[in-house]
Amino acid sequence: MRPGASFHQMWRELLPVGRSAATGGYRRHAWTGADAECRAWFRAQAEARALAYETDRNGNQWAWLDGSDGAAGNAVVTGSHLDSVPDGGAFDGPLGVVSAFAALDELHGRGVRPARPLAVVNFADEEGARFGLACVGSRLAAGQLTPEQARELRDDDGVSLPRAMERAGHDPDAIGPDPERLARIGAFVELHIEQGRNLAAEDAPPGAAGAPAAGRAVGVASAIWPHGRWRFDFRGEANHAGTTRLEDRRDPMLTYANTVLAARKKARLAGALATFGKVAVEPNGVNAIASLVRGWLDSRAPDEETLAAVVAEIERSAAERGARDGVRVAVTRESATPVVEFAHGLRDRIAARLGGAPVLPTGAGHDAGILSAEIPTAMLFVRNPTGVSHSPAESAEEDDCVAGVRALADVLEDLACP
């Protein structure tokens, strides 16, 4: 089999699943029909390779290749997620899962018999597109989200997470921490498309002297910026757009709009990121002044002090403007993910094994970030020529994807064949 052949075959199989004909983007939201198709595909890949397949209590899927030395804490796990954001790209998530199976094929082709158990994982509901909280599958497993909190999650149609899981054929009563499973794992390595242009940029951090060109096709993560989601409720007063004098209005849209601009400015000044990417309006009529505007802020920064300061400034700005507009502002923190420093020993070992691959941080959250609190965790990034992600335009070169598979196989061989 030529290098990457199994990658291409799997990639083609998965490509049409959950893709919108209208936008070309993916809608593989957790516990939907498209998600079920992705999960069936995962299971088929496991069975085609005679890997031991299992779904854990939180709906995460695993495919195990047993090693001769299966002592607790010895397993090496790789994988990512198959769900998507609304109109997401093809690569965010699936690249890591497809590359994981392809890397096992590559090891098989090399005649490598891993001593340590190896597994491929597909974490459930990584993007949080449906229930508003990212990394639900890994958070539950790691005990960073309680079953009680998870049971409160609802989608935009009011369907609870347990109901959605049940409808998809998964027992929601079983969700909860999974320390025994995590205790089997000695290292987790997640391959992911880079969600930015650090590897593609002209000034990409160079690899070590004499590093091969692949050093820029593949990089190693140093850290994940701390990040969080906040819901801003701007409450004003509904009224007639044609008869209410401007000075008599309590229009929350004004406060919201001003807050969006303030968020951008505060983030720019602090070297952080702040985005209002989702908004809901009541009553949502063209000829009605809104009574309520609800906007969701996503903010990230290099360190937690900066993040807290930026969000506090945005809240202050919203409150000040709200006072002028006669609008009440309430802010609810919906999620917070602390800074993640990936295990230095594992990170350095991988970078060295890959011939001095560049080491770079990211602003995007991942299951690897959640698990890093429990087990040594690392990430590989594959070059993204445009840096675009969470969009149908997300892309990676085929050669870079194959380089990613080889790099992952090198890393797994290094870690699982001591």
Q: Which positions touch Zn ion (CB under 5 A)?
A: 92-93
108 labeled binding residue? no
CB of 368 to Zn ion, least distance (A): 10
**Token reading at 383:** 């070059």
Q: In whole angstroms, give the CA distance from residue 277 to residue 325.
A: 23
Residue 58: how many other CB atoms lie within 10 Å: 27
Q: 34 or 318, CB closer to Zn ion? A: 34
125 labeled binding residue? no
Q: 93 or 117, CB closer to Zn ion? A: 93
CB of 352 to Zn ion, least distance (A): 26
Q: 31 or 234, CB closer to Zn ion? A: 31
Reading phi first (left if > 0) and then psi (alpha if -120 to 50, else beta), residue 355 is in left
Whole-number CA gyration radius for the chain: 23
Residue 362 CB contacts under 8 Å (≥ 6 apart), including other chains: 194, 195, 196, 221, 223, 224, 225, 379, 381
Residues written for the chain? 418
User: At how many degrees (to 10) do helices 94-109 and 5-14 cross?
Assistant: 150
Q: 93 or 114, CB closer to Zn ion? A: 93
Residue 16: how many other CB atoms lie within 10 Å: 9
Residue 73 CB contacts under 8 Å (≥ 6 apart), including other chains: 183, 184, 185, 186
Report strand pairing: 273-282 vs 292-300: antiparallel
Q: 11 or 234, CB closer to Zn ion? A: 11
Q: In whole angstroms, give the CA distance from residue 49 to residue 202.
A: 40
CB of 39 to Zn ion, least distance (A): 16
Q: 117 or 228, CB closer to Zn ion? A: 228
121, 62 Cβ separation under 8 angstroms: yes
Which H or E run contains 340? strand 340-341
192 labeled binding residue? yes
CB of 192 to Zn ion, least distance (A): 6
287 labeled binding residue? yes
Helix ranges restricted to H, 59-170: 94-109, 136-142, 147-151, 161-167
**Token reading at 82:** 């198959």
Q: 92 or 413, CB closer to Zn ion? A: 92
Query: In terms of C-beta density within 10 A (0-12 exposed, 13-18 middle, 19 or more buried), how is residue 180 classed?
Result: exposed
CB of 411 to Zn ion, least distance (A): 19
Report strand pairing: 118-123 vs 75-81: parallel
8 labeled binding residue? no
CB of 65 to Zn ion, least distance (A): 24
Q: 170 or 192, CB closer to Zn ion? A: 192
Q: 93 or 376, CB closer to Zn ion? A: 93
CB of 366 to Zn ion, least distance (A): 6
CB of 93 to Zn ion, least distance (A): 4
CB of 377 to Zn ion, least distance (A): 14
> Mind giving me the DSSP string for 283-327?
S--TTEE-SEEEEEEEEE-SSHHHHHHHHHHHHHHHHHHHHHHT-
229 labeled binding residue? yes
Taking Cα atoms as reference points, which of 119, 126, 118, 60 lies closest to residue 93?
126
Detail the residues annotated as belonging to a binding site for allantoate.
229, 287, 300
Detail the residues annotated as belonging to a binding site.
81, 92, 127, 192, 229, 287, 300, 390
Detail the residues annotated as belonging to a binding site for Zn(2+).
81, 92, 127, 192, 390
